[in-house]
Amino acid sequence: MDLPEASQKDLFQRLEQLNEIGVALSKERDIDTLLEKILFAAKTISRADGGTIYIVDDTTDCLHFRILSSDSLKLAMGGTSGRPIKFPPLPLHLPDGSPNNSMVAVYCALRHETVNIDDAYTAQGFDFSGTREFDHRTGYRSRSFLTIPLTNHENAVIGVLQLINCTSPISGELQAFPDSARRLAESLASQAAIALTNRQLITQLEELFESFIKLINTAIDEKSHYTGGHCQRVPELTMMLAEAVNATTVGPLAGFTMTDADRYELKIAGLLHDCGKVTTPVHVVDKATKLETIFDRIHLVDTRFEVLKRDAEIAMLRGKLALGPEPARADLDQLEADHAAALAEIEADRAFLRQANIGGERMSETDRVRVRTIGIKYRWTDPTGTEADFLSENEIENLAIVAGTLTQTEREIINYHIVSTINMLEALPWPKHLKNVPEYAGGHHERMDGKGYPRGLTREQMSVQARVMGIADIFEALTAKDRPYKPGKTLSESLHILGKFRLNGHIDPDLFDVFVRQKVYLNYAQRFLDPAQIDNVDESRIPGFQR
């Protein structure tokens, strides 16, 4: 039988709504917003006054309230409303294991069936005591119920959509949900279940992926807790600076904006920026002193000094014996004075090498020459009876390191981690929305003037995100309080060094200005630095800073 023209028009409009809703649901990324859209759309096409979406929780064997809405009560709970739903979950089974079929939403979920009830107050077979109690407290009158299972691609019920109180488009009175409304709502429920399942699967995959990344960083952390802290802090600082740039409305970076997808891509790049360090030998990563390998070899040098002191004492005693049974007092005094001078020289040289072993900002050429002189001016006999130079070539090379504790070879080993990072990341089949991760993560040791590594990229060849990560990596390293070879610097010291890097072409000048101007450094410090490191910063004295 043909429908009246008005009914045909109404049905056509609702089908159009259903089609538009399906498109909208497929684009939504946030689950709470997605659920709100599902419920709002279902209420619209079915002309329901209110509704609820429950989600199945297999771990608790319950249906949990996720979102609840009523137009006439002006009530919105759950979802993005900020108002939590305090109703207890509905158990799917009773304590004896039998199905909890007295609850209509549970019955719907367990039986995979739509339930259409004309009037909750006269319906038989279901427990609506909770509904009546709600009506009594609010003055509401719950009448018609349409309860539909949300079934995924594996035919498993993942939730329940429940609509309440259908309104007649003609009289405005409450009525039962007609079959047309039921069919439209079921069609929407089918689309909603697909959208919700897809979003849940994507979320689960993202969580799995991030957990795997954290597993890699944990492996690095177990290998070196110094590097592990760095792997956690650099992504945080990267996102803080990126958000500050995103909020900038003036200057050269005013056009830079980020979507949520862009943020996620940068976050993943930050987490993976040092993943190549999993290949770096731990004795190089954790080298706290210049002579440290598996242990600090300064103790071997100390032992040699003790041998020198023993030899000096033996030489003095032999000298006394050579003077005969009645030596002159002056000769004895001379021997003892020479011995004391030798011991003083040995102790001075030992103290010097101990200090040199610590490493620092810069070792003078005079001190480096003294290391080499000590290495050859003493001779000692090793346990095999072989006479040798006091210091080996390797020990001299290490003790004469100009800055820090790493030799040039060891620095190359450390630097190779970025090559490993790039190789590892470029080998992965990144989806489109994460395709820039290797570039972002692999560029944090490049310089704006092209003198960085491993590819010697210039500023123009790098994305803003990679340049952001470069500043974050340097500032974290300067302020880090858990490095084996140095204490964390104060904010003033770190910003002074970073400012010099701005002037010499190391870091991006525009990003540095945002970093200082937007107080990113201070926000980071308040979260991650010791109070003693957070000194008063005079921004006017920071080299190169353009306010």
Domain shared by 274 and 302, yes or no: no
Which of 341, 371, 405 finishes a domain?
405
Catalogue the long-range contacts made by 428-432 (C-beta closer than 8 Å, 24 or more residues apart).
Answer: none
DSSP state for residue 49 in the 8-state scheme:
E
- C-beta of residue 523 within 8 angstroms of C-beta of residue 240: yes
Among 285, 277, 279, residue whose Cα is nearest residue 485: 285
Task: Tell whether 211 is covered by a domain.
Answer: no
Q: How many other CB atoms are there within 10 angstroms of residue 171's CB atom?
A: 8
The pLDDT assigned to 19 comes to 60
- Residues 465 and 110: their CA atoms lie apart, in Å, by 49
Q: What is the mean pLDDT of residues 162-186?
A: 91
pLDDT band (50, 70, 90) for residue 415: confident
- Residues 259 and 246: their CA atoms lie apart, in Å, by 10
- Residues 446 and 474: their CA atoms lie apart, in Å, by 11
Domain shared by 235 and 89, yes or no: no
Q: Over pLDDT 70: what percentage of the chain?
A: 93
Q: Over pLDDT 90: what percentage of the chain?
A: 63
- 512 compared with 485, residue with greater pLDDT: 512
- Residues 23 and 15: their CA atoms lie apart, in Å, by 13
- Integer-rounded Cα Rg, in Å, for the chain is 37
Residue range of the domain that includes 107: 14-202
Q: What is the mean pLDDT of residues 250-276?
A: 93
pLDDT band (50, 70, 90) for residue 164: very high
Domain shared by 422 and 536, yes or no: yes
pLDDT band (50, 70, 90) for residue 12: low
Amino acid letter, 284:
V
- Residues 1 and 21: their CA atoms lie apart, in Å, by 29
Domain shared by 251 and 303, yes or no: no
Domain shared by 419 and 399, yes or no: no
Task: Tell whether 96 is covered by a domain.
Answer: yes
Domain shared by 376 and 431, yes or no: no
- Per-residue DSSP letters for 142-190? ---EEEEEEE-TTS-EEEEEEEEEEE-TTT--EEPPPHHHHHHHHHHHH
The pLDDT assigned to 108 comes to 96
- Residues 124 and 119: their CA atoms lie apart, in Å, by 10
E strands of 25-99, at which residues? 48-57, 62-70, 75-78, 90-91
The pLDDT assigned to 9 comes to 57
Task: Tell whether 214 is covered by a domain.
Answer: no
Task: Tell whether 344 is covered by a domain.
Answer: yes
Amino acid letter, 286:
D
The pLDDT assigned to 227 comes to 62
pLDDT band (50, 70, 90) for residue 268: very high
Q: CB-based burial of residue 208 (10 Å sphere; 0-12 exposed, 13-18 middle, 19+ buried)?
A: exposed
Q: What is the mean pLDDT of residues 354-361?
A: 87
Tokens for 285, please give them.
């990563």
Element holding 225 (H helix, E strand): helix 225-246
**CA separation (Å) from 288 to 177, 297, 315, 351?**
75, 12, 37, 18
- 38 compared with 237, residue with greater pLDDT: 237
Task: Tell whether 189 is covered by a domain.
Answer: yes
- Residues 388 and 436: their CA atoms lie apart, in Å, by 56
The pLDDT assigned to 88 comes to 93
Cα 424 → chain centroid: 19
Domain shared by 379 and 424, yes or no: no
Tokens for 48, please give them.
């329901």
Number of domains in the chain: 3
- The CATH number linked to 463 is 1.10.3210.10
Verify cis geometry, omega within 30 degrees of 0, for the bond prior to 454. yes
The pLDDT assigned to 176 comes to 94
The pLDDT assigned to 56 comes to 94
Domain shared by 42 and 166, yes or no: yes
Element holding 116 (H helix, E strand): strand 115-117
The average confidence (pLDDT) of the chain is: 89
- C-beta of residue 363 within 8 angstroms of C-beta of residue 401: yes
pLDDT band (50, 70, 90) for residue 21: low
The predicted-structure confidence for 300-352, as pLDDT tens digits, reads as follows: 999 999 999 999 999 999 999 999 888 899 999 999 999 999 999 999 999 99
pLDDT band (50, 70, 90) for residue 487: confident
The predicted-structure confidence for 209-221, as pLDDT tens digits, reads as follows: 989 888 887 887 7
The predicted-structure confidence for 84-132, as pLDDT tens digits, reads as follows: 998 999 999 999 999 999 999 999 999 999 999 999 999 988 999 989 9
Domain shared by 386 and 500, yes or no: no
- The CATH number linked to 174 is 3.30.450.40
Cα 318 → chain centroid: 68
- Residues 292 and 290: their CA atoms lie apart, in Å, by 6
Q: How many other CB atoms are there within 10 angstroms of residue 376's CB atom?
A: 11
Domain shared by 372 and 520, yes or no: no
pLDDT surpassing 70 at residue 155? yes
Which of 405, 421, 449 finishes a domain?
405
Residue 138: partners with Cβ closer than 8 Å, 6 or more residues away? 73
Which of 378, 405, 432 finishes a domain?
405
